[in-house]
């Protein structure tokens, strides 16, 4: 497994592949890879070559967030990439991505105004900026993002359309632990008790999904039921639970079209997100 630390190395390798007419997939990650990331790499194996970026992007973290403590282990990530069939890891230092006088950002209004965009000011500006850089560095044919970060997927799709990146964005399903908890690098922060408590997030969302299957279309009622279930768990504290249009991320009152039910919940000090999409015409 080749690990490139510089932009120049990636450009050289990818340009050789392109000369051979090979297609290239990109899987952007912050590392500490798990089966969720590996599922994206496996999706990307539909391309001739797959690049995985491993970069804990400082500019998408707020001042009181977990940038410093975010888990990092490139050796472990390398094995996970090999297992899943990636061809190249791009693991730059922050200084390779951001010059000291770095001053250009990609920003958005609309899909970033709600959910995590509202609760984590500047987060999506950081995400859009780093993903734009990765697109320019790797020049992939396709890029793979998890439905786990549903708002991020909607934001990236909008950015690619608006800025004419000419890259196909592929969304991949959420990979879960056996008890339903969505896999996340941040799950490593949880104590044993918190880990047990965290299952309330996926359980409550599943109960909400079942209400819709039984015919409920009032998003306020569904959100109230999800909220009550989460509030019954003493270690959980809700950051938000909302129903929004899955593409525009605008709040909705009725389940009609593709509706994203998204939750952000603190379990102890760890902020976890999860969601489901309901489709009804
Ligand atoms: P991260 O390293 O957390 O920034 O995630 C990198 C990519 O992996 C993003 O596109 C995430 O949506 C995706 N991802 C993270 N966790 C999961 C999961 N449990 N299932 C599917 N995709 C995931």
Write down the domain spans for the chain. 2-172, 185-275
Mutate to test the pocket of ligand 1, among 28, 29, 273 (most ligand atoms within 8 A of CB): 29
Cut 0.85: pTM above it: yes
Over residues 73-78, the mean pLDDT reads 98
Contact 49, 22 (CB under 8 A): yes
Over residues 194-199, the mean pLDDT reads 98
State whether CATH 3.30.1300.10 applies to domain 185-275. Answer: yes
Nearest partner of 274 among 27, 33, 30, 36, judged by Cα: 36
Over residues 9-38, the mean pLDDT reads 98
pLDDT at 112: 98
Confidence of residue 229 (pLDDT cuts 50, 70, 90): very high
CA 143 and chain centroid, separation: 12
pLDDT in tens, 118-137: 999 999 999 999 999 999 99
pLDDT at 281 exceeding the cut of 90: no
pLDDT at 91 exceeding the cut of 90: yes
Contact 260, 275 (CB under 8 A): yes
Average pLDDT, the chain: 98
Alpha-helical regions (H) of 20-142: 35-44, 74-84, 94-97, 115-119, 123-138
Residue 37: active-site member: yes
pLDDT at 189: 98
- Identify the architecture of domain 2-172 in CATH: 3-Layer(aba) Sandwich (3.40)
Mutate to test the pocket of ligand 1, among 26, 33, 37 (most ligand atoms within 8 A of CB): 37
Q: Catalytic: which of 4, 13, 28, 37? A: 37
């Amino acid at each position: 497994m080749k690990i490139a630390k510089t932009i120049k190395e990636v450009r050289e390798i990818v340009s050789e592949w392109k000369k051979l007419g090979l297609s290239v997939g990109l899987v952007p990650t912050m590392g500490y890879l798990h089966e969720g990331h590996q599922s994206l790499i496996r999706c990307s194996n539909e391309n001739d070559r797959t690049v995985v970026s491993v970069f804990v992007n400082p500019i998408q973290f707020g001042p009181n967030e977990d940038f410093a403590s975010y888990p990092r282990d490139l050796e472990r990530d390398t094995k996970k990439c090999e297992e899943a069939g990636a061809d190249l890891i791009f693991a730059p230092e922050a200084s390779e991505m951001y010059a000291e006088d770095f001053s250009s950002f990609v920003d958005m209004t609309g899909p970033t105004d709600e959910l995590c965009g509202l609760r984590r000011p500047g987060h999506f500006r950081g995400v859009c900026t780093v993903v734009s850089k990765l697109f320019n560095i790797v020049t992939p044919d396709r890029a793979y993002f998890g439905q786990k970060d549903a708002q991020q997927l909607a934001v990236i799709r909008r950015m690619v359309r608006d800025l004419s990146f000419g890259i196909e964005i592929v969304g991949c399903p959420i990979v879960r632990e056996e008890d339903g908890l969505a896999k996340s690098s941040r799950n490593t922060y949880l104590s044993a008790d918190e880990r047990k408590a965290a299952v309330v997030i996926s359980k409550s969302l599943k109960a909400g999904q079942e209400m819709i299957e039984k015919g409920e279309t009032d998003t306020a009622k569904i959100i109230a039921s999800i909220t009550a279930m989460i509030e019954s768990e003493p270690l959980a504290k809700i950051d938000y639970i909302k129903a929004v249009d899955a593409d525009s991320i605008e709040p909705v009152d009725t389940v009609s079209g593709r509706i994203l039910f998204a939750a952000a919940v603190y379990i102890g000090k760890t902020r976890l997100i999860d969601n489901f999409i309901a489709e009804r015409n």
